[in-house]
Structure 1
Amino acid sequence: MNNASRKKSISGGVALAALPGLMFLFLFFFIPLLTILSGAFIDEAGKISLLPLLATVRDENLLRILGFTFLQAFLSSLIALAMGLPGAYFIARCDFPGKKILRSLSVVPFVIPPILVVLGFVTIFGNNGIINRFLMQLTGSGTPPLKILYSLKGILLAHGFYNFPVVLRIVASHWEAIPEKQEQAAQLLGAKRSAVFRTITLPQLMPAVVSSMLLVFLFCFSSFAVVMVLGGGPKTTTIEVEIFRLARINLDLRAAGRVALIAAGLTILPLLLNFGTESRFTGMGASDRDHRIVRGRNPKVRLFGAVYGLAMVILVIGPLLGVIASGFLEVEGPLAAPRFSLRWFAGIFSVSGPDAFSITAARSIAGSLLLSGLTLLITIPTATLFALATVRSGGKRAKLFELMASLPMSISTVILGSGYLAISVAYPMLTAAPLFIAGAHSVIAFPFVFRSIVTALAKIDGSYRRAAISLGAKPAKAFTDIELPMLESSLFSAAAFAFALSVGEMNATLTLSGGSFPTLPITIYRLIGSYQFHRASALGTVLIVLCAVAFLLLDRSTRRKKEM
């Protein structure tokens, strides 16, 4: 085969590999997104017009909502930064008891569904939570003395917990890449540690700090479940909650489209800024980490690191333990002491004469597992082939593919669910169709699965594949026999992450189906809304077990990749 024929064959193979991913993104992402956003330009008479959009931009209520959305996202970013930076320092520069545990636990919030965070904080800090019950029994008061939740404070507390690992992981990984010899040289020349940090370390860390803060800001700006449950009313409404209200409750899809267009436009800016800051530190080599000298002999540093690690363990694990404990408790009255009980779990797994709750619980578990399975079947093959096409194509086409794969991250799950809802209005049979809902889940998981696989695929030495092809193997055969086995760890990691995202997804599913297709997060959300916290905790424990399996697989695959 001559060079021209070989290039033509490679080009055809790239196009064939990219086709499933392109079709998937077109059908399950671009069409729903354009469906909801196009309504922003339609007036009440059904004609194309900019006047409704301009009126929405000037609406005082929306401006108030936007102001609060920006405020809570900014304050949440500062809290996450304050919580994450010390951990980044301890992981990057210190050795202390429990360091490996802290590093592993920093993954936990990534695989915890937001509804579990909400339930955990209600269980611990709620008016009838563990802390308030203890204080009421201690004082004999019938009024909860600690009122944190259902206000801005509750939102900020939950967002800080949920997002500080973003800061910790991003900053720590880049702090590790800064040679400590630079700091030591400055200290030998007489510079104080504060001056060294300000003039040498901080400038190199700033891109990572800004990137992590922008990501946290974006996550908090698009937060839904935390605000919906812990907000406490109209005063704490964010733009995502407003889109849900317009689309799902009012069924005013055109108004929802106008607000969604504004929200999408506002989230693009921090995303572009994040890409800009990321490009500034991608050149920091991993080899620099070989020059890092760990400060592990200073007893004070070890003590502070251990104390910080213990505090973070309590903060991360505490809400989850609160959910599990609440699932095994039964309380007769406001001031009565809780007692151990299996009543709520018996209701979930009842096989003889099941009541309405056990039927709903069983359907929710089955629904979540079905959607997660369908999400894996859709996402893993399409993202793997799309990653293969990206690596093989190179140049501008590869950048275009990467951009297309990343676009779903810039659109909130509520906006995505609103797009699916707009389609289901025309085709009602799709509202509770598992494959249709799994399509939304797959769009949410696709960027993360793609990123995990394309990074691993780009690191594989291409000489093995080229040698196999030169010996007569077809490109597809060379990929399946040589490269695919080398991707095993990354595929496990991607599958675990996709499973965790799907099994905990609530926003798009609730917006689309309104709960007509029960899943674990939706049923937990409804139980919280009806103040059935112990039943919610029992179901939450089941969800924690499923997420724990995903976490263990993710942590195992991450360790294997580091060992390779």
Structure 2
Amino acid sequence: MKSRYIFSILPAAIFTAVFYLLPIIVLFAYTYKTGSSVFNSLNLRILKFTSYQAFLSTLMSFAMGLPGAYLLGRTRFRFKGIFAALSTVPFVMPSISMTLGFISFFGHNGIFNSYFLWPIFHVRFEPLFTLLGVVMGNAFYNFPLTMMIVGSAISNLDPLYAEAARIDGASKFKSFLFIELPILLPSILSALILTFIYCFTSFAVVLVIGGAQFSTIEVQIYMYLTTIIDFKGAIDLTILQIALIGSIVFIFGILRKIAGIFSQEISRSNFKFPLWGILYLAGISIFVFGPIISQVFAGFWNFQNSTFTLEWIDHLFSGRMNPYIGNSVIAAILWTGIFSLSSAILTVILSITSAYAVNKIKSAIFDIIFTSSLAISPVILAFGYLALQNWIPLNFPSEIIPIYTILSFPIGFQTFLSGWQRFPEEIDEAASVDGANWFQRLTLIRIPILKPQVISTFFFAFAISMGEMSATMVLYNPQFPTISISAYRLFSSMHVPEAQALGSILTIATFVVFYILEKPLFREEQ
């Protein structure tokens, strides 16, 4: 391994060892005893169902996200930016807020049933508290991963390959299937593995939409730690989760090598909007935009009087809700912004350098190490930090930025890894021959070419930090409130309208931020 690659991978390796591996090892050593029962019948049954629902959820998420990735990365159409922004909002929002938005739209008396299906067709669609509801909820949250990761790759795809195929007589479908799809395969594999892991570790969707009859590994770990107080049982399930996710990541690394990497020039080309895109946008508008809009709508609507109101907003900012959240809403917004911004910047820095080195080293072990944190429950990670406090003086909020970074780093790493694999090395080499140093090549060549990956990683890291709730609940200090915990506390104290109003503000702010950021990510031709 060359020294420059060691220098590039060292920051991420040290950060991962100190803020991820060390707390987990300390927690295992602190709680685990001999006589393991990892493979008992209950754990295996939970593992089987968790894998099954994650597989179905991944298929649905990918089926929803791939057409959107093509539309965003390759075509031009009116309101393209609004579509990209709204589609990504579910992945950003606090889980409890958007889960209730999903329920308010698809519930028995929700908007979809009350104002569309029942009045017109006299039938009801009731996916809640079923396996279909769990799969739909996971797809609702995670399809933006495919849309953003694959869409970013499509937007950089050189059209010369497809044009040459069409000149030789290939149809558009054959050109995509046999020419463009193999080039996009690394990005597709990245999206699939990340989506599966997020569906596998789903928590709020299973707990709220699925109900008590469905128990996944993540839900059971939470129950062990908070209700049964069985640390050993939680560790047993964590071992199973790490083993499975680690194996999947290892296989994924092998498949990506088999798929191969195509070197190409960066070139953008926008095609006309296809007819099938109309049906796709209509379906997404119902399935995704409906719950989002209903959640925003609920924050400004008095259901008893059926009138528009700012009463709930006034309750938030007047200080009346401060006793329930432990601090002011303004403080929650401020600290959430600080934590999320710091985590996003750190994630981008660690991801771009480590992915560069791993792409050069060609070793699957780093894929496993840098992606394995997705297999760890945020609750387990937070308890690891608590166990670590016995030896190291850690206190909230010094713990929260590393935790947020650890949770978002795998997405950034995989996104940049796909980008580096398609990076035109000849441009970098030409600059080096002309005398450009490492910093000049980074700032003037590499980052501009990798701009879609930079923006995508920054946004998703920022989004994950804003919406993270489970680890924050374990370590929470009311002196440093966050929006997600504030919304949860309002919900749990039966101040649902105020919680929905807070969620509405966050949804609108998220939409505005991403609408601004998506311009350089998916460039449009006017």
Q: TM-score range by the shorter chain?
A: 0.7 to 0.9
Cα distance per residue 1:242-300 (max 9 Å; x no partner):
1111123333222211111111111122222333333344523545978x995x4xxxx
- Residue of structure 2 equivalent to 1:165: 144
Residue 497 (structure 1) aligns with: 460
Alignment map for 1:359-398 (pairs within 5 Å): 360=325, 363=328, 366-367=331-332, 369-374=334-339, 376-377=341-342, 380=345, 384=349, 387-388=352-353, 391=356, 395-396=360-361
1:26 correspondence with 2:35: no
Which residue does the alignment assign to 1:150? 129
The one-letter code sitting in structure 1 at the alignment partner of 2:52 is: L
- Tell me the distance in 1 between the aligned counterparts of 2:10 and 2:226: 33
Which residue type is aligned with residue 525 of structure 1? Y
Q: 1:90 to 1:487 in 2, by over 3 A?
A: closer
**Equivalence map 1:214-229=2 (5 Å):** 214-229=193-208
CA 1:151–1:420: 2 relative to 1, 3 Å = farther
- What percentage of aligned pairs have identical amino acids? 30
Question: Which residue of the other structure, out of 296, 301, 306, is the alignment partner of 1:324?
Answer: 296
Correspondent of 2:27 among 20, 30, 36: 36
CA contact (8 A) 1:375 1:439 kept: no
CA contact (8 A) 1:329 1:341 kept: yes
Deviation of 1:203 (Å)? 8.0
Question: Which residue pairs with 1:534 in the alignment?
Answer: 497
Match of 2:508 in 1: 545
The residue aligned with 1:79 is: 60
Per the alignment, residue 308 of structure 2 pairs with 340
> In the aligned structure 2, how far is the partner of 1:485 from the partner of 1:206?
23
Q: Which has the higher contact order (CA 8 A, sep 6+)?
A: 2
Report the AA paired with residue 321 of structure 1: I
Q: What does residue 252 of structure 1 align with?
A: 230
CA distance in 1, matches of 2:450, 2:178: 43
Aligned partner of 1:311 in structure 2 is: 283
- Cross-structure match for 1:271: 249
Instruction: Return closer, same or farther for 1:310/1:361 CA change in 2, 3 Å cut-off.
Output: farther
CA deviation string 1:397-453 (max 9, x = no partner): 9877666544434434343234234435x47985x6111122211212334445666
C-alpha RMSD of matched pairs (Å): 4.7
Letter in 2 for 1:329: W
Aligned to 1:461: 428
1:179 aligns with 2:162: yes
AA matched with 2:240 = I
CA distance in 1, matches of 2:206, 2:478: 19
Counterpart amino acid of residue 98 in structure 2: V
On the 8 A contact 1:116/1:320 being kept in 2, the answer is no
- Asked whether 1:56 is paired with 2:21, we answer no
Residue 380 of structure 1: SS of its match in structure 2?
helix
Q: Deviations along 1:469-526, whole A, 9 cap, x unmatched? A: 78xxxx77x5798679859956565443332221111132234449896422223234
After superposition, the C-alpha distances for 1:500-554 in whole angstroms (9 at most, x for unaligned) are 2211111322344498964222232344455543222101012213423441343
| Inter-CA distance 131–64: structure 2 relative to 1 (3 Å threshold) | same
Q: Highest CA radius of gyration, 1 or 2? A: 1
Query: Counterparts of 1:311 and 1:357 in 2: how far apart (Å)?
Result: 40
Q: Which moved more, 1:236-245 or 1:513-522?
A: 513-522
- In structure 2, the CA distance between the partners of 1:376 and 1:456, relative to structure 1 (3 Å rule), is farther
One-letter amino acid matched to 1:408: S
1:316 maps to a residue whose letter is: V
Q: CA deviation at 1:19?
A: 5.2
2:38 aligns to what SS in structure 1?
Answer: helix
Counterpart of 1:318 in structure 2: which amino acid? G
The AA in structure 2 aligned to 1:461 is D
| Structure-2 residue corresponding to 1:46 | none
SS at match of 2:404: helix
Contact 1:80–1:167 (Cα < 8 Å) also in 2: yes
For residues 198 and 556 of structure 1, the distance between their equivalents in structure 2, rounded to whole angstroms, comes to 28
2:407 equivalent in structure 1:
444
Displacement of 1:379 after TM fit?
5.9
> Contact 2:94 / 2:468 at 8 angstroms: preserved in 1?
yes
1:367 deviates by 3.9
> Compared with structure 1, are the counterparts of its residues 170 and 16 closer, same or farther at alpha carbon in structure 2 (3 Å cutoff)?
closer
The corresponding residue for 1:126 is 107
Structure 2 CA distance for aligned equivalents of residues 491 and 202 of structure 1:
23
CA distance in 1, matches of 2:256, 2:102: 33
1:324-356 C-alpha deviation (Å, 9 max, x unpaired) = 110011233xxxx52222121111110xxx324
For each residue in 1:173-228, what CA deviation from the matched residue of structure 2 results, as whole angstroms up to 9, or x when unmatched?
A: 5696662654675668xxxx999998888888877766644433222111112112
Q: Per the alignment, in what secondary structure is the counterpart of residue 435 of structure 1?
A: coil
Structure 2 counterpart of 1:56, one-letter code: V
Match for 2:15: what amino acid? F
* Structure 1 residues 549 and 62: CA distance shift in structure 2, 3 A: same
C-alpha contact 2:206 2:215 (8 A) present in aligned 1: yes
Q: How many residues of Structure 1 are paired with residues of Structure 2 in the alignment? A: 515
Deviation (angstroms), 1:147 = 3.7
- CA gap of 1:428–1:479, structure 2 versus 1, over 3 A, is same
Alpha-carbon distance in 2 for matches of 1:200, 1:21? 35
- Contact 1:465–1:483 under 8 Å retained in 2: no
Q: 1:293 to 1:466 in 2, by over 3 A?
A: closer
Q: 2:145, 2:195 within 8 Å by CA — same for their partners in 1?
A: yes
2:519 counterpart of 1:556: yes
Change (3 A) 1:32 1:91: same
Change (3 A) 1:391 1:32: same
Residue 99 of structure 1 contacts residue 309 of structure 1 at CA under 8 Å; is this kept in 2? no
- The question of 1:508 aligning with 2:471 is answered yes
Q: Could you state the TM-score of these two structures normalised by the residue count of structure 2?
A: 0.78
